[in-house]
Structure 1
Amino acid sequence: MSEKPRYRALFLGAGPKMHCGVGQFTRLLQETIEKLAPGAGTALTLTQTDGTIAEIWRAVGGADSVVCNFPIVAWKRVIARPLLALLFARLRRRKVVLIQHEWAGLNGIRRLTYMPALWLANTIVMFSPLVRRELADDSIMRGMVRKCVLAPLPPNIAAPAGFADSMLLHRLVAARGNGQLIVGHFGSIYPGKQPSGLLEIGAILKQRGLQPLIVYVGSFIRGTDNIEQKFYARVAELGLKGDVIVSGYVASDHEVFGLLGEIDVFCYSLAEGLTARRSSILACVQSGRPLIVTGPTLPDEFDHHPRFKELIDRGAILLVPRDADSAGYADRIVKALKRRTVPIPFDFDGWWTDVANAVRAQL
């Protein structure tokens, strides 16, 4: 009987049925590494029902390294099985490469569940110097910084050749035809993205007679902070009822980019400033529309990510000073709409090759 092949890397994932940004990142990373080094990796599906202890033990034993983008499903309860896989990897002397996107911005309870993964990791791949500094500032976890390496984050989705029709798309087309200014925000809606900041900017645009329609292409993240209730309460306080749309979950990239293409300008007011881990920013830029965002906290935020830095240098991403108020963002939006937008070629595969090579170097 032939011996089973030994893989260089075992990728922990939640399977193709789990539709979320974290799962999409893991799948694209594995696919890109497979293109660069055919046969180098394999995947293990872990859900609330998939992945027995014996299956996890065998799969870990068949690889040199275990790669975990933790949590393997965004904001779901698939926590125990991936942590068990990482523990088995350390017991079997396999290398653990952990991919960690956030730290201080996480809900405190979630952060507690992530701590064991960081302790078990041999290498922690991060995408932002600011997030690495947040870890260094954590009195309990600061020792983990010595394990950290930076990698360039790619976008999770690519602009497709065509767009899908939808009722919301027709609504946006009609709004633009009626002279409304469509201001957009793409991605999951949660406190770390300060979604209410855009509402305040929209209120100022409305006071100036610009007829804004604030469109959030995405859905609320369910947590313990009542983000959705607080959001709509703020909409009412600012007198924006009827001027705000939240799309909810959008099923396909074709539908997403159909909506993004009807937005006049994107705007993000971020307390932490722009960081190199914001993949939603990269999706917006592919639409060719101007994007307004708070400037980064750290001057070296993009030194490890030349592609992201180029988008800023060429004006696809327009930075607002960190001390700007809502009126300052409104001014920047008006100014951006007056300037001619020059589409920038976007090498989606090149972005993914960069991060795949960075992760491969840690295997």
Structure 2
Amino acid sequence: MRVGSCSGLRRFLPRVCLLVFPLLLVLQLLVGLRVPGARQAGPFEDEFGFTIINIASGRGAIATDKSGRVWASELWAEEAGSYTVSSLTGFEDENEMTTQRAHIGRQVELQPWAAGQPSFTAEAERFISYITTPQVHCLQLLVPGDTQDEKASEGLWALCVEGWTLPVTKLQSCVSYSFSMGQKDEAFVKKMLWAGCEVHQFDPGRKQLSGQGPVHRHHTWLDWRSPRAGQKSGLEDATPQKLNAIMDTLGHTEVHFINADLESAEWRVLESWVKDGTLGRIQQLVLTVHLQWAGFEVGGNNAEVIRFWYSVIQELYMAGFRLLHSAEGVGQTILQHSLPNTHSTYTLSWINTRRRY
């Protein structure tokens, strides 16, 4: 309302103008006021709204969202670089399991270049730094050898058995797979037998099969490709099979411990687990990576190859896997290049923080 219009109104309603300006002032004050403690709605206001309900020894925060689901906060991990397994496990519900299954068909997304442009040195440094820096701490470890030790600095691999009762009782389930040629996995198999697990050993070159004791031995090897028409599906010959097909054949919805030394096939196998959702069926993974050459069916120049490796490893992180232990292996080259503090093989122990233990 313009001030000049009040002159006409005074002839008919002399008191109207006296009330208009106070009313406008009151309305302006009311609109501008905020309720104490109220938050402005942001772009994710309807989706998130966490309330901290527990701090686990300063190692991480457990929070609930508006629907009541329990989430494990990784804020501490992002700031300090590691967290305890105990602060992350045991909080998964069926909704989160459904979310994991929804990732079936996911493609590996290439990560940005480490230096903003192709650079072999930058890619190698980023990759080696990532696979040699543990991301999670476990209070109770299972390591190679005759004794159970909490320190794994000198061991080739380490498994987290926090919350487990070992050897397992009949009320517990423990399934382990080991993929290795030349019987290089005997220490792992022995430890799994000691733990009371159902042990399956896969080696296409091994002459003796099942019936030789408590270990279930198979000639089958891991493949990353879908079976061809007419291909055999049995586990007692050397026909390669995808991991999810092996698990389905053996009647396992999940495997608690997997040991895999795939002789440079690991990159395409890992990629296939990302694509078909098999990662969500694995609790812990001991994986030997071979860096002296690109690997089966991995192409590109040196910088592109390492960028692909790093991108595959990042998919493990996005699926909930955290690096528990890293051990150097033989050789001192990466893609036939000698680099300081670099080895040709590493054995990496990963733990899926989204699985119950």
Give the greater-gyration-radius structure (CA): 2
After TM superposition, the score normalised by the length of structure 1 is 0.28
After TM superposition, the score normalised by the length of structure 2 is 0.29
